[in-house]
Amino acid sequence: MKTIVLDTSIVETNIKNNKVIKKESWKEIYAGPLSYRMEGCDQILIADGTKTLNYDKKSKKGVLKWTNPLASPVLELKSQVDDIYKYGNYKLVGSENLDGIDTNVIKVETEIKKSKVKVRIKTDTYWIDKKTNFIVKHEELNGDVKRIVTYNIDFNTLVNKDDLKPNLPEDVYVYNTFDNMYIFNSIEDAKKASDFDLIIPDKLPTGLKFFNAWKYKKDPNPSNPYNHSIQLCYYNEDYTKVVYIEEFKKGDKILIKISTNFVHGELKPTIDDLKSKYRNIDITLSESSVY
């Protein structure tokens, strides 16, 4: 089976004393947005199309949960490059050959407010493969910390299907979140399972489609907020962009938490539209977590 293999190494250094703060590496075998295996120093993550196993090597415990395509580093890299060109205040500062790969060198400077009067500049430099448009090196300078990430990508690797399997010790404890939740593959089914009217957004960023919805099974504790909640998941066609809309019913009010890896300005039309149609809702917006 042809797939993508991504080897990544990360080194963080204090530039004042040149001391290494952090050093790690991980490898991903990517056979598609819903099928991949990633292994690092402390963690193994395996997606098989319908579910994802997250295994912690130190505790020797795993968690089985719904598949999140964005947990794939390959897709995260692709999304990152798209965002640099689309949103970043970037400068093309030159080109460089890195180990036989012709790259464009892109620099992005971001203001980080430490207080009302103090501002720190974070500088990101990316070496982007001219042929594949993937990042092969990323250097981040943030205060006294320099972080260098290098990516070695092979797009034509032949791997055995067994290479995508967990291959974990036999005595591993795995917590199965599916025991405590329902998964719905249509909005209609999600509506039937909810004890309040779902708020379905009409104005989402272009290209997003409904992926699935999930709902926790009822907890005997009546005060558990997840007894009256449901989450709708939307992805674009290549699974590089996501919007999660989580709704909670609290009395007569609906609380909505939107998690996304879009630049937040792109969600403004969605939020403004929801607020104009539903008066009794509170909306918060946060970064999405790939795990």
Segment 96-149, tens digit of pLDDT: 999 999 999 999 988 776 666 577 788 999 999 999 999 999 999 998 999 999
- What is the per-residue pLDDT for 111? 78
- Nearest-angstrom CA–CA distance, 48 and 161: 11
Whether 55 has a pLDDT exceeding 90, the answer reads yes
- Nearest-angstrom CA–CA distance, 188 and 159: 39
Q: How far apart are the first and last CA of the chain?
A: 26
270 by Cβ neighbours in 10 Å (0-12 / 13-18 / 19+) ranks as buried
H or E element in which residue 83 lies:
helix 73-87
Structure tokens given for 145: 């910390």
Whether 291 has a pLDDT exceeding 60, the answer reads no
pLDDT in tens, 172-229: 899 998 888 899 999 999 998 887 788 889 899 999 999 999 888 887 777 777 778 8
Contact between residue 143 and residue 15 where contact means Cβ atoms under 8 Å apart: no
Percentage above 70 pLDDT, the chain: 95
Average pLDDT, the chain: 87
The most confident of the ranges 74-83, 160-169, 231-240 is 231-240
Q: Tell me which residue has tokens 């909505």.
A: 256
Rg (CA), the chain: 21
* Contacts by 183-189, CB closer than 8 A, 24 or more apart: 183/66, 183/212, 183/213, 183/214, 184/212, 184/213, 184/214, 184/215, 185/212, 186/210, 187/213, 187/232, 189/213
- What is the per-residue pLDDT for 152? 94
- Nearest-angstrom CA–CA distance, 169 and 1: 25
User: Residues 224, 230, 191, CA angle at the centre, nearest 5°?
Assistant: 130
- Please compute the mean of the pLDDT values over residues 148-177 and round it to a whole number: 86
Contact between residue 127 and residue 116 where contact means Cβ atoms under 8 Å apart: no
- What is the per-residue pLDDT for 290? 39
Residue type at position 254 = I
- Nearest-angstrom CA–CA distance, 123 and 137: 14
- 10-19, 64-73, 131-140: least confidently modelled range: 64-73
- What is the per-residue pLDDT for 289? 45
Taking alpha carbons only, the member of 95, 145, 142, 137 closest to residue 123 is 142
- What is the per-residue pLDDT for 219? 74
Q: Where are the strands (E) in 19-170, listed by range?
A: 19-30, 35-40, 43-48, 51-56, 61-66, 90-98, 101-113, 119-129, 135-142, 145-158
Residues 6+ apart with CB under 8 A from 181: 214, 215, 216, 217
